[in-house]
Amino acid sequence: MSVWEYAPAPESRDLANLQPNYRPFIDGEFVDGGGDPLKSVNPATEEILAEVGTAAEPDVDTAVRAARRAFEQVWGPMPGAERAKYLFRIARLLQERARELAVLETLDNGKPIKESRDSDVPTAAAHFFYHAGWADKLDYAGYGPDPQPLGVAGQIIPWNFPLLMLAWKIAPALATGNTVVLKPAETTPLSALVFAEICQQAGLPAGVVNIVPGAGDVGSLLVRHPGIDKIAFTGSTAVGKEIQHAVAGTPKRLTLELGGKAANVVFDDAPLDQAVEGIVNGIFFNQGHVCCAGSRLLVQESVAEELLGKLRARVSTLRLGDPLDKNTDIGAINSAEQLARIRELTASGEDEGAQRWTSPCELPERGFFFAPTVLSGVEQSMRVAREEIFGPVLSVLTFRTPDEAVAKANNTPYGLSAGLWTEKGSRILWLADRMRAGVVWANTFNRFDPAAPFGGYQESGFGREGGRTGLEAYLHV
Amino acid sequence: MSDRVSVAKTYKLYIDGKFPRSESGRTYPVTDSVGGFLANASHASRKDVRDAVSAARKAFGGWSGATAYNRGQVLYRVAEMLEGRREQFAAEVSACEGVPTAEAMSTVDTAVDRWVWYAGWTDKIASVLGAANPVAGPYFSFTVPEPTGIAAVLAPQSSSLLGLVSVLAPVVATGCTAVVVSSADRPLPAITLSEVLATSDVPGGVVNVLTGRADELGPWLASHADVNAVDPTGASPGARVDVAQQASGTVKRVLTVPGDEPDWTRRPDISRLRHYLEAKTVWHPKGT
């Protein structure tokens, strides 16, 4: 059988309209930040994309004051119906500039263009569209008549879905009448600063949205700033705990969306080919840089060998390489640090006795890449079964009975998501009840929608994003 | 007629459906509002905290897995038992809080009614907080509230019965199980409430009551990895900070509470129920 190779189909990087310099966005203007500028790197090539000004303490202070002023004088008093129209405008502007944003996101993050184009950017726009409609309907949200906003929200987001996480944070905050100071991740600040330009184009009043790039120290300034009423954080469980500790005893409200170690449970009656697609999506989507990734495959013993064979065959077909190529399935790991962590944890799995299988795909000479890897024979005690790898590495465990599957799936301090694969409806509902996780995907995986609440149990955090439930995070209730 | 000597009660802890003394052997004297001796209460220790948490964890599966209708019936049964002991509760509230018997009786009545109010929520809260999510794709997506797990409840220091009921009933109504630290100086109604729970079909371990110091026991509860949520109401302002910091170690849900003890006679809302509930979103494809 002849094999038809894919011809390269790269998206043009010119579409990103890259600027040599990006600056913090405070009180409606781009300003010079007092912090040391950072250089944002394309993880697929290791080239420097742009220099980005960062915020120092006075800049954070100015941003918080601007947000306070905007909250008290403009955004807070504004009727919900008027706030809504700004959010609708932002949604439309995101759609209009979708191609530019998708290319920029792929350059800065390393994710495949087909994911930034088909998932990150459209879902970000959808979040603004959805929440725009809530702005004048909050009386009906179930939090009593005329629920009030909290004030100024400090928001800290990760590098895995830079624009989408921004949308998850800013859209509900603005819809409920809060103003925000947002810190994008150190390695992926660019799309947030283009979003700032979109706020200008939308005519959003100055100070309603402020973007303060920087590293963890800027996040820490936000968390500790007395002028902030609410902190919303998405990121690692370790940092989440530090933040919870820091705000303890203050009047600040807090929501956390942290790590995960999701079980993806496959029963012997599952349609295996369909399950394989779900497993691949669950762990290799976005290079596995997903807090809800299905990183622990629990497969019923009787079908384990068959499933592993099918899985390896399918993973072998995944195309790893230039994230800008529309055929690419697996892009670049976001940073050298993250790549080192993935390598270290994967090696620990081998050291502890797991069998490693890695896709025979070629790795580009430059850039941060890690070939899709499946570790089988994993035991619950191994680090690769307990710790979040946040990379394209799947740990495979087996089970015999439904009760054992439940016990193993829940044997984690996390509790963000779970996957279930079985044709038996009653078993799905039985399992869904027993999964200690905030999101359960049955015969599917990684589905996200602004209308569907998302968030974790236990050490995966608290609070929800999306749906009516998600509004609670930004209201006095 | 000779004066009969009354039979005095020994007030103990309530753990796993039983009434043990503190393993530490510690007790402390409880007095009425004018200093008269009422009882020697058990002074719970860190080991008692651990025993109570493990009992609560053991009971969680059964209680959270019971039907909401069943939980509602069991909790309504608690109200029936409370009603039958109105006089006893009124006497204890009156002694502990130093209020006239008539006022204490009114407080007890409010507490019973509060318990009935929460009992009725068990099979309704899911339809108020849950949803069918209108997602943009061929999927059925729904969200249901589920109990978050084990709640550590530091009960109010002033309101020995009504306050206690107001913070405990929402925990068990959601399907969570509880470890309660009673008011330190006014613990008697809490122990009597335990006797009510023990005779009301509430499974052992669903509610565990410790008498002692919230400021001492609270941080231990907040640092216990098997506790999922904390209500710091009964802790002093300084201890509340400690409790909240300890709670961050395993990302516990810490209830935001007012600085001063609120007026418990005010009609409650569902915010306490919401605090002990997680939203779970389930997705399934639609297709032929």
Q: Which pLDDT belongs to residue A185?
A: 98
A286 contacts A162 by C-beta, under 8 angstroms: no
The answer to whether A438 contacts B281, with C-beta atoms less than 8 Å apart, is yes
Question: Alpha-carbon distance A68 to B120, whole Å?
Answer: 42
CATH at residue B110 = 3.40.605.10
Q: How far is B48 from chain A (nearest CA, A)?
A: 24
Of residues B211, B210, B214, the one with CA closest to residue B239? B214
Tell me which chain B residues have a C-beta less than 8 angstroms from the C-beta of A245.
Answer: 245, 248-249
Q: How far is B218 from chain A (nearest CA, A)?
A: 14
Bridging pattern class, strands A439-442 and A296-300: unpaired
Place of tokens 């742009």: A50
Question: Alpha-carbon distance B101 to B92, whole Å?
Answer: 9
Q: Identify which of B143, B271, B284 has the shortest CB distance to residue A442.
A: B284
B142 contacts B132 by C-beta, under 8 angstroms: yes
Per-residue pLDDT tens digits for B12-58: 999 999 999 999 999 999 999 999 999 999 999 999 999 999 999 99
Q: Could you give the residue numbers annotated as active site of A?
A: 257
Q: How many helices and strands, by DSSP H and E, does chain B display?
A: 10, 10
Q: Identify which of A242, A253, A451 has the shortest CB distance to residue B134.
A: A451
Question: Residue A300: enclosing H or E segment and its boundaries?
Answer: strand A296-300
Amino acid at A211: I
Q: How far is A467 from chain B (nearest CA, A)?
A: 7
B20, part of any domain: no
- Neighbour count for residue B86 (Cβ, 10 Å): 15
Altogether, the residues listed in chain A come to a count of 477
Question: Alpha-carbon distance A126 to A285, whole Å?
Answer: 20
The answer to whether A248 contacts B254, with C-beta atoms less than 8 Å apart, is yes
Place of tokens 């400021």: B215
Q: Quickly state the pLDDT bin for A5 (edges 50, 70, 90).
A: confident
B27, part of any domain: no
Ordered alpha helix ranges (H), A412-465:
425-434
Q: Quickly state the pLDDT bin for A3 (edges 50, 70, 90).
A: confident
The answer to whether A455 contacts B279, with C-beta atoms less than 8 Å apart, is yes
Torsion of CA B221, B226, B231, B236, to 10 degrees: 20
Q: How far is A435 from chain B (nearest CA, A)?
A: 9
End-to-end CA distance of chain B: 86
Show the domain range for B105.
38-285
Question: Alpha-carbon distance B226 to B203, whole Å?
Answer: 19
The answer to whether A244 contacts B251, with C-beta atoms less than 8 Å apart, is yes
CB neighbour class for B73 (10 Å; exposed up to 12, middle 13-18, buried from 19): middle
Does the pLDDT of residue B1 top 60, yes or no? no
B33 touches chain A (CB under 8 A): no
Question: Alpha-carbon distance B56 to B63, whole Å?
Answer: 10
A126 contacts A227 by C-beta, under 8 angstroms: no
B251 contacts A462 by C-beta, under 8 angstroms: yes
The answer to whether B251 contacts A437, with C-beta atoms less than 8 Å apart, is no
At a CB cut-off of 8 Å and minimum separation 6, what does A216 contact? A186, A239
Tell me which chain A residues have a C-beta less than 8 angstroms from the C-beta of B137.
Answer: 447, 449
Domains in chain A, start-ordered, CATH in brackets? 13-258+457-476 (3.40.605.10), 263-442 (3.40.309.10)
B143 contacts B126 by C-beta, under 8 angstroms: no
Q: Quickly state the pLDDT bin for A1 (edges 50, 70, 90).
A: low
Mean pLDDT of chain B: 97
B6, part of any domain: no
- Neighbour count for residue A380 (Cβ, 10 Å): 13
Per-residue pLDDT tens digits for B57-77: 999 999 999 999 999 999 999
B275, part of any domain: yes
Q: What is the 3-state secondary structure of B98-154? A: CCCHHHHHHHHHHHHHHHHHHHCCCCCHHHHHCEEECCCCCEEEEEEEEECCEEEEE
Question: Alpha-carbon distance A127 to A404, whole Å?
Answer: 38
Tell me which chain B residues have a C-beta less than 8 angstroms from the C-beta of A440.
Answer: 280-283
B35 touches chain A (CB under 8 A): no
Q: Which pLDDT belongs to residue A9?
A: 96
Backbone angles phi, psi at A31, to 5 degrees: -130, 160
Does the pLDDT of residue A50 top 60, yes or no? yes
B223, part of any domain: yes
Backbone angles phi, psi at A294, to 5 degrees: -85, 75
The token duo for A102 is: 């998708």
Q: Which pLDDT belongs to residue B288?
A: 83
Nearest residue in A to B130, CA atom = A469
- C-alpha dist (Å) from residue B51 to A159, B14, B196, B208: 43, 11, 21, 9
- Average pLDDT for residues B84-91, to the nearest whole number? 97
Per-residue pLDDT tens digits for B133-190: 999 999 999 999 999 999 999 999 999 999 999 999 999 999 999 999 999 999 999 9
Q: Which pLDDT belongs to residue B48?
A: 98
The token duo for B287 is: 């297709």
B61 touches chain A (CB under 8 A): no
The token duo for A355 is: 């069998």
Question: Alpha-carbon distance A292 to A299, whole Å?
Answer: 18
Work out the percent of chain B whose per-residue pLDDT is above 70.
100
B199 touches chain A (CB under 8 A): no
* B232-236 long-range Cβ contacts below 8 angstroms, 24+ apart: B232/B154, B232/B257, B233/B153, B233/B154, B233/B155, B233/B156, B233/B163, B233/B167, B233/B257, B233/B261, B234/B154, B234/B155, B234/B156, B234/B157, B234/B181, B234/B183, B235/B154
What 3-state class would DSSP assign to B23? coil
Q: How far is B269 from chain A (nearest CA, A)?
A: 9
Per-residue pLDDT tens digits for A417-444: 999 999 999 999 999 999 999 999 999 9
Q: Identify which of B143, B256, B274 has the shortest CB distance to residue A453.
A: B143
Tell me which chain B residues have a C-beta less than 8 angstroms from the C-beta of A464.
Answer: 279
Half-sphere exposure of B95 (CA within 13 A, CB side): 18
Tell me which chain A residues have a C-beta less than 8 angstroms from the C-beta of B269.
Answer: 144
B16, part of any domain: no
Angle between helices A98-109 and A162-175 (to 10 degrees): 120
- C-alpha dist (Å) from residue A274 to A266, A271, A375, B135: 11, 6, 21, 22
Question: Alpha-carbon distance B146 to B152, whole Å?
Answer: 17
DSSP annotation of B215? H
- Average pLDDT for residues B221-246, to the nearest whole number? 97
Does the pLDDT of residue A2 top 90, yes or no? no
Tell me which chain A residues have a C-beta less than 8 angstroms from the C-beta of B240.
Answer: 249
Mean pLDDT of chain A: 97
Tell me which chain A residues have a C-beta less than 8 angstroms from the C-beta of B280.
Answer: 432, 435, 437-440
Amino acid at A225: H
Q: Quickly state the pLDDT bin for B2 (edges 50, 70, 90).
A: confident
Tell me which chain B residues have a C-beta less than 8 angstroms from the C-beta of A452.
Answer: 133, 135, 141, 143, 281, 283
Question: Alpha-carbon distance B182 to B214, whole Å?
Answer: 8
At a CB cut-off of 8 Å and minimum separation 6, what does B76 contact? B116, B119, B120
The answer to whether B133 contacts A467, with C-beta atoms less than 8 Å apart, is yes
B236 touches chain A (CB under 8 A): no
Question: Alpha-carbon distance A271 to A252, whole Å?
Answer: 48
Of residues A165, A275, A181, A292, the one with CA closest to residue A230? A181
- Provide residues of A within 8 Å CB-CB of chain B: 126, 142, 144, 237, 240-242, 244-245, 248-249, 253, 256, 258, 413, 428, 432, 435, 437-444, 447, 449, 451-455, 457-462, 464, 467-469, 472, 477
Backbone angles phi, psi at B29, to 5 degrees: -75, 140
How many domains is chain B partitioned into structurally?
Answer: 1
End-to-end CA distance of chain A: 64
Chain pair A-B, CB pairs under 8 angstroms: 114
- Neighbour count for residue B279 (Cβ, 10 Å): 27
At a CB cut-off of 8 Å and minimum separation 6, what does A126 contact? A91, A449, A450, B136
Per-residue pLDDT tens digits for B178-201: 999 999 999 999 999 999 999 999
Across the strands, what pairs with B251? none
B57, part of any domain: yes
Is the pLDDT higher at B92 or at A4? B92
Nearest residue in B to A423, CA atom = B284
